[in-house]
Structure 1
Amino acid sequence: MIRLGHILWKRLSRMVLRPKRLAIFEACLIGLVSGLAAALLGQSVGWLGGWRQRASDLFPVYYALPLIGLVGGFLAGWLVEKIAPAAAGSGMSEVKAVLAKVPMPLNLRIALVKLVSATLVLASGIPLGREGPTVQIGAALANQFSRWFPTSPDHRRQLIAAGAGAGLAAAFNAPIAGVLFVVEELLQDVSGITLGTAILASFIAAVVARIWGTHSLDLDLNLVTPNTSFFAPEIPFYLLLGILAGLGGVLFNRGILASLSFYRRFLNISLPWRIGLAGLVTGIALVALPTVFRDNAGLRELLLAGDANWQLVILVFCIQFLLIIFTYGSGAPAGLLVPTLALGAALGYLIGIWEHQWLGLSLATTYARVGMGAFFCGVARVPITAVIIVFEMTTDFNLVLPLMIVSVTAYLVAEVLETGSLYDKLLEFKGIHLGKEADSQGPWTELTAADVMQPRVETLSSRMRLDEALQAFSQSSHRGFPVLEEGRLVGILTQKDVANFSQKGLSGDRTVAEAMTPEPVTTHPKDTLAHVLHLLNHYNLSSLPVVEGRRLVGIITRSDIIRVEAAYINAQEDLPGPKAEPSQIIYRIRASETGQGRLLVPLSNPKTAGILLAMAVAIARDRHYEIECLHVIVVPRHQSLAEAHVSMRVGQRLLRQAMRLGQAWDVPVHTQIRVAHDLSEAILQTIKERHINLVLMGWKGSTATPGRVFSRVVDTVIRQAACEVVLVKLKDHSQFERWLVPIAGGPNSQQAIALLPALTSLSRTPTVNLCQVFEQDEIKPNTTSLTTAADFLKQHLDGSVTTTPVHATSVTDAVLECAKQNHSDVIILGASREGLLQQVVHGNIPATISRNSQQTVILVRAASTGRGQN
């Protein structure tokens, strides 16, 4: 019996889960849920708004309305800030970004918080609308539904679009306008959406909202629509209305952005207090204004019913305009389209009064209805939606032609003055730029986490004692480690976790599992780099574990992101022109492969080749490495590598010199000559193909290229090479007797110390001075690093080792002065990958020392052997 039930369930599932049937089912469900959410929002706002009206009648209005505004705004802001920060604002721009494939949060939590917070904001009297929240709620519910029942990314995008359309349709009781708005504004493309899904969801949502919701936006239900007509002599008045609406739309959009900037710069307080302040100001304004202003729906009906005089209409337009701009800038979770309808109605009413006095052909209320569409279009730049939405709300076909005139006019005027809708501007304010170029966002959409991640990760066991984990922190520069249990990622242990654990007075014999942060934020190998960057920024992380299921497969740090961006910029600099071909080997000699690793020496300058080769041999003998000598011949990018005519004379002479030196010291030397379009790419390709452990490169000592630390080639190799990199700036007639080694801590400084015994074999009687720079006010500096390094060197090299603690305000000046006083021949430095990339603007210390010193400078960057949470 159980087996039969299982079979029947599988057959039923297959029938329902067929693509077309599943799409219909999903559209119906999304429309139903979005419609119910919109209805609940409308009913809740109506009930709480009615309570606010009664409270203003029962209690002194001069403190009841401001207090209600303050409390309602504060509670809404607290909910948003504590539970779902992405629910702030209208939500319409965020939905547009998600549909443009920008990774932004959109889930059930946001929908619920948006529903409650929008209810509080709107019921407290803030003059904003509920269409933004219903759009975001509908899209969030659709996105959550697609995650519960996993679908393809394209199908998920269709569901989100359908949910957004359903939300707008439910808010305005305008199913056709809901679909058109999604296509015309949010997607701006019909090719990526199945219209049937959006239409069905919008229709059901509108029906549900009509049956169970409030009808405050349905003009045909609230008002007796007068007979309307259209006459040719009215065209100039409609054109004037369109022009003013276009100008007003531009001014409105700029005012919204100015308000957001004002709050950011001058009212940098928490979100609850910002929205509470907006509610307080609104309450005070409502106390000072006529009572008609206390009900936004009643205010709109007053204009559309024709019961207002022109002085009141001007007051309505100006006060509402300023209040809407001020309150939205606070981050209140409410929309802007409904308020624009009220502003458009007021503007149209004024033009209608003027026309009626001159021609007496139409009532002012007709112009008020047409003005709604005009101002709506001036703000959102959606002329088709503007016509349809007012038509669906009024069911008056006579309005279609004047609506078309004013909407197109408003659109053209607004676009001439300022291109882009309000929601484009809001996204740009947040640093998100959409458009045709959004489909090609460089490495952010082209690369995935798997392309960027470091596959080798330093980890801790969940059963490890905490004092053992502290030793791992002391021996590493990482600020956190992924924690594994039976090969699965179960948490992250950061320095902050350890500090919190210590503050509680708990002993070090506890396990890592007791102190770690469980369920860390992770990403997956197929996630785009844009999504990875969003997670890093949203959760303020310095690195992100990459998992398949619960298995840790890699880690991505911010330095990896910077490295990819730098590589992309390097590639862009070579444009225009054909794409570079991979380098090709045109000459090669192989020696015996008996070493424990390989050292790569790119050779190009005969004057420095001898010293570089001597240093390479010294390191290779110490580490039992083989030497790989590389000479690259660069040809123009427009020339094919296979057809390039090049001379190998210089390269062969350099490589023969290397082979003679290797034979003299019994070190295996391999040689190759490559022809390439790009020198750095040829070096990186060799590193990958020959499994290089260390690269030894020369550097001329300066660069004139803006934005570069060393040079384009050297910067690229340092950023992208996974192996150890040693960069040498040679002084003329270099000597290697007196060595200065600044100690700064970290793996690169330690690597420089470890390399020193091999390099000092170039000296007859080496003298090593270790110095460490401390702050001026550091009375008792910690010289443990100096002592440890000195003890190591005394055991591993024949020569004198001294230590010098230095107090100074500038590390660079202190090191250069120390080198001058000690008559140093060589300065050897450790340089972090992050320092090379992030300190260009503020001054990279190793690069500055290299450029300004009169000594030979050796810069060491350790290999990237795995990452924790840096």
Structure 2
Amino acid sequence: MPNFNKYVRDFWQPRRGLAIAEACVIGVVAALSAVFLRFSSGWLGTFRVSTSYAIPAILALPLIGASFGFLAGFLVERFAPEASGSGVPQVKASLANIPITLTWRVAAVKLVSAILMLGSGMTLGRQGPTVHVGAALAAGMSRVFPTSPDHRRQMIAAGAGAGLAAAFNAPITGILFVVEELLQDLSGLTLGTAIIASFIGGVVSRLLGGRSLQLNLELIESKSSFIITELPFYLILGILAGLLAALFRQGLLLSLSYYRKLRVSLTLRIALAGLISGIAIAMLPEGFRNNTGLRLFIIDGQPSVYKVMLVFVAEFILTLVAFGSGAPGGLFAPSLILGSCLGYLVGVVEFQILGFSTPNTYALVGMGAFFSAVSKVPITAIMIIFEITTDFNLVLPLMIGSVTSYLVADKLIPGSLYAKLLQLNGIDIDTEMPINSRFINLTAQEVMQRQVETLQEQMTVDEAIQAFSHSTQRGFPVLDNTKLVGIVTQSDLMKIREGKLSRDAPVSEIMTSHPITITSKHSLSNVLYVLDRHQISRLPVLEGRRLVGMISRGDIIRAEANYLNCKSAPNQPKIKPSYIVYQTQSPSTGQGRLLVLVANPETAETLLGLAATIAKYNFYEIECLQVVIISRHNNPAETPVKTAQSRGLLLSAEIMGKKWKIPVHTQIRVAHDVANATLETIKDRNINTVLMGWKGGTSTPGRIFGSVVDTIIRQASCEVVLVKLGKNLNTKLKNNSLIPTNFSSCLVPMAGGPNSKIALKLLPALAASNNKLKINLTQVFPLSETKLDTKLLQAARHQLIDMYKLSNQITSVPLRSDSVAQGIINLVKTDESDVVLLGASREGMLQQAIKGNIPEAIVYGVDCTVILVRGMTSEQ
């Protein structure tokens, strides 16, 4: 059996034969989906047109447009939001190693929603969706077998090319579009798989579409001629196409922005677009009801100038209406129709002046020119018209018109339309930079480990050894009052084994002083150079003199692997500022503000009770915050969200505030990230203390408390209070009490230094609301220590009595144990404490609450409530 498994793995390893076979399958599957899309949308279109004759068009067309648009939007929004829009930008981003979802689910939703969209009568094309569907099918297939990232990209490109080839019945066009717009890759295997998939896709599409393999495709038999005197008219056509295409592109971007400002769901946006399209088409001549037939009407018929101008204006406006809504449709077909109208009008003028060519010839050239200027693919534009007509006489006029329009449009609005659509969603693709170069230009800030365990300079070597034994970290920065002064690695501990130093010696005796460091802005190429130059495995990352992270060779390897597998990328959508969608304010009568993150209705009352306890004692106001998370591809200021449940929770907080006579302000923010929204609130509202619930641990690799809490602890410019609620805690509050009813005994471990003062700071607030609260102060001593120094405990006890005037029962309990955490856990169970209060400085809280043990060890060992307090530091 092991040999068989090895044979299967070896057989499916990426190689040329497998890539060619997979490209063949992709070509067939993409063609089948394209044919299904064509016939299904055609059937729905026929139904829509026939219904408009059976029922008054002004009723039938808007109703069908809105209902089909609603169904299409619901499918996309509910099952695959990635299936919205054209689909070409998503494929382009995926091929640039941006983590965009391309799966069979996306392909299925795109296919069905595109059929509904086309059936609704919206003036979008099916070619963009076929590109998206082909690429998604290929991506899904590439995940079935253990292939390389390069192999996956090749298959996605082949699927996109096959989809376009099947949509247009133009194999060469599919190949050129992949090379010119999507991949910019001319390597042998990539080009070979794209050629095979596109060829098979085109052939299968023609056969199943009822056409022969001859190159007389879906338009006309064009017999044109070209003479040199027509050159100025083709130049004029190119210039006009470039100008109007630039206007069209700008209109598309403005339409997308406008729809997002409506703050309604994608489903309603697409339904609205279908309704508007239906009303407009019902008011236009009957020929507009068959959108597919408009292009044939312009090229193959003899329309009047008035009708052609009407088609151009109507198609221009209705495409902006439909595309801006996010409907799953493409821009290829609208671009060709607009170009044919523009070319026909120029041809009429030329025929009136020179009388050489017919306007239909100019219509064909106009199609290529407008398509070239919109999509910025002049070679593809030339070839698509040539494959459609097989007329060699059109090649030179197409080259003149397409290249001229491309240059004019690029001068007015540089860059790819699809890249700009991605930028609108926060994704920036530098198409001029190779993928490997983009990775190597990542900065240390994007790759480093932010959660770093550190040692204090005054710690002993024995404590450093304990830190190494309890951590997977192999190098510890040494800090002196938050400033980096050295680094201790495993090799430094060899000095102990060699007998050069005792375990009681300070860490400063074995650390490497003035270690080599980098800044967070250093690129990975610089980081790799420094690591190799000094033959070291890790580097501290600084901002000024403040330690913000560590980066190692392993971090770089992990980041590169994630990047190649599209799990992360340097061009991920950037986090935008949060947006306030709901806010209430009470009179500002307090001396400070306490921020409470309200998320879980089951624990909200208890957290608010603790917040009120602290606020009452410190004369603070309470600020309640709810954060609604959205995708980074959406703009918080433009994304509609439901806030009914959140408002209800915040309203209950306002009611509690009135009962407690404490000012309570509330707000709901739409954001990409909870931590960033919280930090923005802290800054905007001048928060003094943050109170957060905490589940007690995290499953996130590289995190200590969790991604949100870790970020807030490191970056918040105020005190931070974390609360892990006990399992048996009674969350209901008494009428005359702010803290939970069964808080009767509080254990406060003391460790000396500044942490002790921070731990004691919250006690007066808790005791002020419950004068029966029993307070136990404890300090853990090693079993080997015979004489216990309890000066710290006695000083803390006197401080609570003399400074804070507490009348509660306060006891001091020295404790012997080799494990600080286990000693505290045992004491909690023995004394049946209700709450454990841990104090820590910023660095201490993230690495070790009490002499080498992080609070997580204590939290997991007790069932009672645990409160962790991080005080202000000098750097803040």
TM-score where L is the length of structure 2:
0.58
Contact 2:123 2:334 in 1 (8 A): yes
Distance 1:181 1:237, change over 3 A: same
CA distance in 2, matches of 1:761, 1:389: 72
Q: How far is the alpha carbon of 1:84 from its aligned partner?
A: 1.2
Distance 1:52 1:215, change over 3 A: farther
> 1:256 aligns to what?
252
Q: Secondary structure at the match of 1:744?
A: strand
> 2:325 aligns to what?
330
Does residue 34 of structure 1 match 2:30? yes
Instruction: Spell out the pairing of 1:335-484 with structure 2 (5 A cutoff).
Output: 335-435=330-430, 436-437=432-433, 439=435, 440-441=437-438
Q: 2:116 aligns with which of 117, 120, 133?
A: 120
> 1:577 aligns to what?
none
Does residue 72 of structure 1 match 2:68? yes
Q: 2:129 aligns with which of 129, 133, 147?
A: 133
Distance 1:195 1:742, change over 3 A: closer
Distance 1:800 1:345, change over 3 A: same
Deviation per CA, 1:415-436, whole angstroms, max 9, x where unpaired? 1111112111111111111113
Contact 2:315 2:338 in 1 (8 A): yes
> 1:60 aligns to what?
56
Q: 1:164 aligns with which of 160, 163, 181?
A: 160
Contact 1:161 1:193 in 2 (8 A): no
Q: 2:149 aligns with which of 129, 147, 153?
A: 153
Does residue 744 of structure 1 match 2:721? yes
Q: 2:313 aligns with which of 285, 310, 318?
A: 318
Distance 1:25 1:277, change over 3 A: same
- Give the residue type in structure 1 aligned to 2:273: A
CA distance in 2, matches of 1:605, 1:314: 71
Q: 1:628 aligns with which of 486, 507, 511?
A: 507
Deviation per CA, 1:655-686, whole angstroms, max 9, x where unpaired? xxxxxxxxxxxxxxxxxxx9999985999889
Instruction: Spell out the pairing of 1:296-695 with structure 2 (5 A cutoff).
Output: 296-435=291-430, 436-437=432-433, 439=435, 440-441=437-438, 593=462, 597=466, 602=479, 627-629=506-508, 632=513
Distance 1:416 1:75, change over 3 A: same
CA distance in 2, matches of 1:118, 1:605: 57
Moved more, 397-406 or 677-686: 677-686
Q: How far is the alpha carbon of 1:627 from its aligned partner?
A: 2.9
Distance 1:344 1:790, change over 3 A: farther
Contact 1:166 1:201 in 2 (8 A): yes
Q: 2:287 aligns with which of 289, 292, 308?
A: 292
Q: How far is the alpha carbon of 1:800 from its aligned partner?
A: 3.3
Q: How far is the alpha carbon of 1:164 from its aligned partner?
A: 0.2
Moved more, 793-802 or 123-132: 793-802
Q: Secondary structure at the match of 2:800?
A: strand
Q: How far is the alpha carbon of 1:125 from its aligned partner?
A: 0.6
CA distance in 2, matches of 1:860, 1:323: 69
> 1:45 aligns to what?
41
Contact 1:69 1:283 in 2 (8 A): yes
CA distance in 1, matches of 2:280, 2:290: 13
Distance 1:11 1:353, change over 3 A: same
Distance 1:356 1:743, change over 3 A: closer
Deviation per CA, 1:194-218, whole angstroms, max 9, x where unpaired? 21111111011111111112779x9
Q: How far is the alpha carbon of 1:166 from its aligned partner?
A: 0.2
Contact 1:742 1:829 in 2 (8 A): no
CA distance in 1, matches of 2:124, 2:200: 25
Distance 1:446 1:784, change over 3 A: farther
Does residue 276 of structure 1 match 2:155? no
Q: How far is the alpha carbon of 1:595 from its aligned partner?
A: 8.0
CA distance in 2, matches of 1:316, 1:62: 19
Moved more, 340-349 or 181-190: 181-190
Contact 2:542 2:549 in 1 (8 A): no
CA distance in 2, matches of 1:758, 1:13: 58
Instruction: Spell out the pairing of 1:736-815 with structure 2 (5 A cutoff).
Output: 744-746=721-723, 758-759=752-753, 770=762, 783=769, 787=773, 797-801=796-800
Distance 1:761 1:830, change over 3 A: closer
Contact 2:345 2:359 in 1 (8 A): yes
Contact 2:351 2:359 in 1 (8 A): yes
Q: Secondary structure at the match of 1:89?
A: coil
CA distance in 2, matches of 1:253, 1:834: 54
CA distance in 2, matches of 1:171, 1:832: 60
Percent of paired sites with the same residue = 44
- Give the residue type in structure 1 aligned to 2:800: V
Contact 1:303 1:346 in 2 (8 A): yes
CA-based RMSD: 5.3
Q: How far is the alpha carbon of 1:66 from its aligned partner?
A: 0.6
What stretches of structure 1 of length at least 5 have no aligned partner?
454-558, 565-587, 609-623, 639-673, 689-706, 710-719, 726-740, 775-780, 807-827, 837-857
Q: How far is the alpha carbon of 1:224 from its aligned partner?
A: 4.2
CA distance in 2, matches of 1:772, 1:386: 76
Q: Secondary structure at the match of 1:799?
A: helix
Contact 1:769 1:801 in 2 (8 A): no
Contact 2:23 2:158 in 1 (8 A): yes
Distance 1:438 1:18, change over 3 A: closer
- Give the residue type in structure 2 aligned to 1:202: S
Contact 1:632 1:679 in 2 (8 A): no
- Give the residue type in structure 2 aligned to 1:58: A
CA distance in 2, matches of 1:414, 1:275: 29
Q: How far is the alpha carbon of 1:754 from its aligned partner?
A: 6.0
CA distance in 2, matches of 1:351, 1:170: 31
CA distance in 1, matches of 2:540, 2:70: 67
Distance 1:685 1:123, change over 3 A: closer
Does residue 82 of structure 1 match 2:78? yes
Contact 1:632 1:675 in 2 (8 A): no
Contact 1:41 1:115 in 2 (8 A): yes
- Give the residue type in structure 2 aligned to 1:799: H
Instruction: Spell out the pairing of 1:106-117 with structure 2 (5 A cutoff).
Output: 106-117=102-113
Contact 1:220 1:393 in 2 (8 A): yes
What stretches of structure 2 of length at least 5 have no aligned partner?
468-475, 486-502, 520-538, 554-679, 684-701, 711-717, 725-745, 780-791, 807-837, 861-867, 869-876
CA distance in 1, matches of 2:184, 2:842: 45
Number of residue-to-residue matches in the alignment: 586
CA distance in 2, matches of 1:64, 1:767: 71
Q: Secondary structure at the match of 1:227?
A: coil
Deviation per CA, 1:579-620, whole angstroms, max 9, x where unpaired? xxxxxxxxx9999858874798656999x9xxxxxxxxxxxx
Q: How far is the alpha carbon of 1:305 from its aligned partner?
A: 1.5
Contact 2:13 2:147 in 1 (8 A): no
Contact 1:56 1:64 in 2 (8 A): yes
CA distance in 1, matches of 2:400, 2:189: 29
CA distance in 1, matches of 2:380, 2:320: 23
Q: How far is the alpha carbon of 1:755 from its aligned partner?
A: 7.2
CA distance in 1, matches of 2:114, 2:248: 22
Distance 1:223 1:88, change over 3 A: closer
